[in-house]
Chain A
Amino acid sequence: MRENWRNTVAVFISIILGSVLIYIGTDGFRAFTAEAARTYKLVQEQPEFPSVTLEDSKERVYPFSEFEGKYVLLTFIYTACTDICPKLEMNLAEVYNQIPNKYIGDDIQFLSISFDPTRDDPATLKKYSSHFDSDEETWRMARVVDTTELNELLRKFGVIVIPDGSGGFSHNSAFYLVDKNGKLLDVMDYTKIDEATDEILNVLETEG
């Protein structure tokens, strides 16, 4: 047992090597699924919000650059969705309520974008926004009418929408935070309301 020190050293080396393997393999314990890894990569790349034309629940038509100079917190939805979207929007409402009034509208804009423009006309969106008490101003619900523009947006922001064949869609959900210049700042877990709120407040406060 004279050479036992080698064994002890080997124990530590194995632990360190193993941890490094797991660390690198999960982007620093952040991404344990390919999906999470994709989101992480997306955030690293900070894609710019493409120029798309929105039509909202009040039938106003404007480009996304309308919100330039404000942070935008957005979600991707379709109103016929019965499972995840209502939850997503309820949580968005929760974040909305937790952000102090002084920031709302001036510094941050809430936006829910429908990727189902054929069914989600302004009237439908209006009805949908009433479910979540959105004021249709500081929190707007809008569709992207042009399919080319919509696909470009979904591609850039990594939203995967697969029609399930019976009128619904299988899609991934998150809160997307876009900065004042239209660059994607972060993709946040929509189930973590408090963490998302904290992060947004942090961003807003450092901006002053």
Chain B
Amino acid sequence: MGCLEMTTIVDKGELKSRNSMIATYLVIGGAVIAVMMIFGVLMLLAQGGVLDLSPAAFYQFLTIHGTGMIGAAALAAVGLMWYFLRDYVELSKKVFTWNLILFLIALVMIIVGVFSFEYASAWTFLYPLPALSAGAWGIIGALLYLGGMLVLGTGFLLLYIDTGRAIIRKYGSLGKGLGWDVISGKKDVKDAPPATVIASTMVTIVNTTAIVAGAVVLIMNVINVINPAFTFDPLLAKNLTYAFGHIFANAIIYMGVIVVYEILPRYTNRKWAVNKSFLIAWTMSTAFTLVIYTHHMLMDSVMPKWMLIMGQALSYANGIPVLVVTAYGALMIVYKSGIKWDMASGLAFLSMFGWSVGVVPAIVDATIVVNHVMHNTKWVPGHFHMYMGLGAVVMLFAFMYYLAKVDSNLKPNGLDKLAFVCYTLAMISISAQFLVSGAISTPRRWATHFPEWMGPALFGAIAGVFLVIATSIFITHFIRYIIVRNKTGSDFYERKLA
């Protein structure tokens, strides 16, 4: 363990096993996402007054839904990033495997903690909730959950240390990985690092920071659970918790977007042009992502005012630079290229649309005056379901179809196309349902709803059923790819596209 493996020449066997590890990442990530969708549907059914779910069960579902979605999407996104990044830098397969093992251990701990020991603090585990549950759960449940999150973080930390070191080894520093020497004019634009490396550098920086902050707050909670006489400043705890949670969740889309940078050029036979504004945009998003978590705390009147104003101002600015350069770049590369649309390119394009529209409600919510009214309503889940469901997760599915296409002779059929339409409409419906609920002041995180709030929830639940079906079709295609590939072997990788 621990040592880096140097493999400069990759033979077919090596390639095959590498791809199979990546496929394992994606299939576990995808399956967990699908199961978490079912919990989402159950919660909406309960809120819609159709399903009789005890509040305790509802909050357990809420906890597992949030934790599972973020964890699984992050895992799959890492698989995606790793697949493309390994073409540019030398990554350790051992670390990649260890991350998966630790993820699975964490998954078991969290599931046991939530379902066997009824732990239900929501995935934000906001201090001092893990220790003070008014008897809803005991010490063991809390320790299993917090411990699971620590194990999860350990795996990801190892992985990002590996990507960070690999990027530094190849490009000299993380600054150069972001192309700072090109921005400053020391190096020519045509020698700038590829988009994949830039995105990976950004994610390495922000997620390492997030995990270090997360470890502090997680162990702090563990200490408080074991020995409640040790108390901590709750405001600092909230800051660290969101510094961890916001960044980690946010980084998923910055890993996912790599698929857009990689496959659109291959489909169009054009190069993704990395220019100065592209580099500046990524550097800006790196910096902003680290500091804008304060928009989760706009209602904490005790926070220093400057931090909140910064949270508002920079939230506007956070995703925009990368979104703009990416959306513009995507449009430019596709424009009059005669691109052949298929599942992978279609999903990649949909994800850009989802990302763009998902940012709008976020910006509305990040405005302090609106936030005071909206932040505790379903408006906020509306925003992140759109952003994640139509943006980040779609990127993962795009990659799944891409991998199946280049690595096997499996062809998507009409059912896949139907699932594409079905997924898009269902996810739009679910997001809209949340936004409408928010607009009529439905509170978020409430196990039961008043009758006047039930309509949208029920509509969302029905849409959710279609979403689960569509997702299952996506994943079935991917599983078929794995089966086909195990039979025929992986000799399709070298095949030219287009």
Contacts and interface: CB of A to CB of B under 8 A. Distances in A.
Interface in A186-203: 189, 191-192, 194
Interface string B132-143: 001100000000
Interface residues of B, number: 7
A189 B228 contact: yes
A194 B134 contact: yes
Contacts of A36: 227, 229
B373 interface: no
A103 interface: no
Interface in B77-136: 134-135
A82 B229 CA distance: 18
Interface in A28-60: 29, 32-33, 36
Contact of A189 (B134, B135, B229): B229
Bin the interface of chain A by size: under 10
A32 B228 contact: no
Contacts of A33: 227
B226 A29 contact: yes
A189 B134 CA distance: 15
Main secondary structure of the interface of A (DSSP, over half): loop
Nearest to B223: A32
B129 to A, nearest CB: 15
Contacts of B134: 194
A36 B223 CA distance: 14
Contacts of B227: 32-33, 36
B113 to A, nearest CB: 17
Interface string B192-228: 0000000000000000000000000000000100111
Contacts of A191: 228-229
Contacts of B135: 194
A6 B135 CA distance: 46
Specify which of B134, B227, B229 lies most central, judged by the most chain A CB atoms within 10 Å of its CB: B229
A132 B134 CA distance: 21
Contacts of A189: 228-229
A189 B231 CA distance: 13
Contacts of B228: 189, 191-192
B323 to A, nearest CB: 45
Given A32-B223, A33-B227, A36-B229, 8 more contacts: A29-B226, A32-B227, A36-B227, A189-B228, A191-B228, A192-B228, A194-B134, A194-B135
Interface of B: 134-135, 223, 226-229
Interface of A: 29, 32-33, 36, 189, 191-192, 194
14 contacts: A29-B226, A32-B223, A32-B226, A32-B227, A33-B227, A36-B227, A36-B229, A189-B228, A189-B229, A191-B228, A191-B229, A192-B228, A194-B134, A194-B135
